[in-house]
Amino acid sequence: MTKKSTALNEKTRQAESVKRKVQGRLAADTDILKKMNSLHEVINQIGTKRTKEDILNVIQSESRCLFDYDICFASLLNRAKTHYAVHVFSNIAGAQELDHRHFPVEEGTSGWVIRKQAVFIGDIASLPSKGPTIEPKLKELGIGSILVVPMRTGSEVIGALTFGTSSNHSYGDVDAALAQLMAYTIGTSLKNSAVFEDARKRITQIELINEVTGQMASMLQLEQLLNGAAASIQKTFNYFDVTIFLIADNNSELELVAHTGNFIDFLPHGYRQGIERGIIGWVARAGEKVLCNDVLQDSRYLAYEYHSTKSELATPLKIDGKVVGVLNVEDTKLHAFDETDAVVLETLADQLSITIKNAKLYDEVQKANIKLTELDRMKSEFLGIVSHDFRSPLSSIILAGKSLLKNDAVQGYPRIREYLQIIVDQANRLNQLAEDTLSITKLESGQLSYYFKIINVERLIQDAVSMVKFSSRHTFEYSVDPNVVFIKGDQTKLRQVVQNLISNAVKYSPKGGKVIVRVGEEAEDQLLISIADEGMGIPTEQIDKLFQKFSRIDSEQSRGIKGAGLGLWICREVVEAHGGRIWLESRVNEGTTVKFTLRKAQ
């Protein structure tokens, strides 16, 4: 071979080598260009998602077009930045054992990348940090090399993105650059999603506080109130379980009084536990909240075989500074609660405590009212018996006294006649008091019967006047409108009303004067009866109370006038039972007029 031919062959080989290098670089550039286009599409997809779950679904479905891997997972920091949760995106056998597990931020390569905010590319043997779980699992799965990049949003790191393959030296600078671009997009979207979710959660929490507060404001039945509050909390936030415990009367146990959620079959209403046991017991004793995002790390947690609780938040219920119970929520997720959840729960606990106090006061009032009602019934029965038994001997005394007053042998003894008259008058007074007392007991017990019939109003007034004793200082007159001669009512009871009002007119005008009864038309179907006197009158501020039981005029002029304060109350009850109304008009030292309406006979 000639020198010329040898040189030509060498140049050809060099040209072929350069050609291969150019073609290789062009192929690499083409591959990078394809990956960049794919990354652009993935970024666009991620940008359209609003929830954490949707964003993670895009990673799972689209990341293979960018990277070769056997395992891929994201490690997301919790709010407190103390732990990260692993979300696995590959279906390699055994990888799912890491899914949704939580690890301290100090543990493993993911934790190292998060803390250092650095990228790691290398073989599994050269990892900068190892933990007892993740890295051994990667070796067990046959992973040879990994790529781990931080997920940033601005200057904040919210987690790490990891790719792993069974081959060694599989990832390079281009892969790292693409992974960082993808991780930044994921981090930004997850941060925005968290902000949006946080805002939605806070709005929901405020709505819950308003809803529960509104419910509590309208409830006084304690059991209904607490069950409603527990149900609203569980439904709104989808907590796994919500319970409300109250300290039992023995102060050594907590009693379950409201429960909603998944443990309700295991912890029935009325379940009790010792106040020295569990997180709930500690809160009841210490009077402080407990926010535990990993119950297995808290020695106070009271574990049950059937429980799947991972996080627990409990806050005390206090009345006037004293702990009366505990509001407790549980969830199956680690790190399910944050300080904002605690603030919301404490706000609800404050509202619950206020309402529990009101409900207990209401319950006490109800019990006291039942006792008072029973005592009042017994009192009414006693008064009814006594009043009824008084009437027979009083009637005998009155009848005997009147008979003696008519006896000729007595006529010649003025002093004896005076004494007999006193006996008859006072017996009549006692008889009227017994009659009024019996009427009250019947009215209060609903046993007073009415017998309605057509009544001549003028005859009614005449009968009432005949029962009243006028002094020589009084004059009496009455007038009845011819258009209102007849009414329908109970004659005996209406006569008692008119008699009582005329007696009052005489009694409260001790200096004498005119007593006037007028009957006129009030409306097309009503008449008006008025009884007026020219007596001492009644102060304006005392008028409204006179129709109450045992109320009397309080003035110097009235203190010498005997009475029980029952008559006007009885009059009001009788008039209202007839469908009418009664009122009083008066001016001091000028007189009083009592008016009442009755229905005309149709």
Three-state SS annotation for 249-271: CCCCEEEEEEEEECCCCCCCCCC
H helical segments located in 49-92: 52-62
Out of 135-139, 315-319, 381-385, 501-505, pick the least confident.
381-385
Question: Quick one: pLDDT at residue 345?
Answer: 85
pLDDT (tens digit per residue) in 340-380: 888 888 888 888 888 788 777 877 777 888 887 777 776 66
Average pLDDT over residues 212-221: 62
Average pLDDT over residues 209-237: 72
Question: Quick one: pLDDT at residue 245?
Answer: 93
Q: How far is CA 466 from the centre of its chain?
A: 62
Dihedral, CA atoms, 543, 547, 550, 553, nearest 10 degrees?
Answer: 20
Question: Quick one: pLDDT at residue 489?
Answer: 92
CATH 3.20.20.70 for the 219-337 domain, yes or no: no
Based on C-alpha coordinates, what's the Rg of the chain? 48
Q: Determine how β-strand 526-532 pairs with β-strand 453-456.
A: unpaired
pTM of the prediction? 0.46
Q: Which residue has the tokens 């190892």?
A: 130
pLDDT (tens digit per residue) in 7-32: 545 545 555 554 454 444 544 455 66
Starting at the earlier edge strand, list the strands of the sheet with 241-247: 272-274, 253-261, 241-247, 322-331, 311-319, 290-292
Classify residue 60 as exposed, middle or buried by CB count within 10 Å of its CB (0-12, 13-18, 19+): middle
Question: Quick one: pLDDT at residue 1?
Answer: 53
Rounded CA gap, 17 and 7, in Å? 15
Q: Which residue has the tokens 């109350």?
A: 569
Rounded CA gap, 122 and 170, in Å? 8
The yes-or-no verdict on residue 441 having pLDDT over 60 is: yes
Question: Quick one: pLDDT at residue 355?
Answer: 78
The yes-or-no verdict on residue 538 having pLDDT over 60 is: yes
Question: Quick one: pLDDT at residue 26?
Answer: 47
Element (H, E) at 557: none
Average pLDDT over residues 125-144: 89
Question: Quick one: pLDDT at residue 403?
Answer: 83
Sequence spans of domains, the chain? 21-197, 219-337, 449-599
CATH architecture of 21-197: 2-Layer Sandwich (3.30)
pLDDT (tens digit per residue) in 468-527: 888 888 999 999 998 888 999 999 889 989 998 998 899 888 888 899 999 999 888 899
256 or 555, greater pLDDT: 256
What are the backbone dihedrals phi and psi of residue 7, each rounded to the nearest 5 degrees, phi first? -65, -40
Rounded CA gap, 22 and 34, in Å? 18
Average pLDDT of the chain?
Answer: 81
Q: Specify the CATH number of the domain 449-599.
A: 3.30.565.10
On the question of a common fold for 21-197 and 219-337, the answer reads yes
Out of 46-60, 197-211, 284-298, 488-502, pick the least confident.
197-211
Question: Quick one: pLDDT at residue 18?
Answer: 45
Buried b / exposed e along 295-304 (16+ C-beta atoms within 10 A): beeeebbbee
Average pLDDT over residues 174-199: 82
Rounded CA gap, 367 and 369, in Å? 5
Going by C-alpha positions, the residue among 508, 515, 514 that lies closest to residue 558 is 508
323 — pLDDT class (breaks 50, 70, 90): very high
Out of 230-239, 391-400, 404-413, 435-444, pick the least confident.
435-444
The yes-or-no verdict on residue 430 having pLDDT over 80 is: no
Average pLDDT over residues 265-272: 78
The yes-or-no verdict on residue 163 having pLDDT over 70 is: yes
The yes-or-no verdict on residue 602 having pLDDT over 80 is: no
Question: Quick one: pLDDT at residue 346?
Answer: 87
Average pLDDT over residues 89-116: 89
Best-predicted range by mean pLDDT among 37-46, 163-172, 266-275, 413-422?
A: 163-172
Average pLDDT over residues 520-549: 87
Out of 245-249, 306-310, 321-325, 529-533, pick the least confident.
306-310
The yes-or-no verdict on residue 41 having pLDDT over 90 is: no
Question: Quick one: pLDDT at residue 387?
Answer: 60
The neighbour count for residue 32, using CB atoms within 10 Å, is 13
Contacts of 346 (CB under 8 A, 6+ apart): 289, 315
Out of 76-90, 132-146, 492-506, 549-563, pick the least confident.
549-563
Question: Quick one: pLDDT at residue 111?
Answer: 93
Average pLDDT over residues 163-190: 87
Out of 125-139, 425-439, 492-506, pick the least confident.
425-439
pLDDT above 70 coverage of the chain, percent: 81
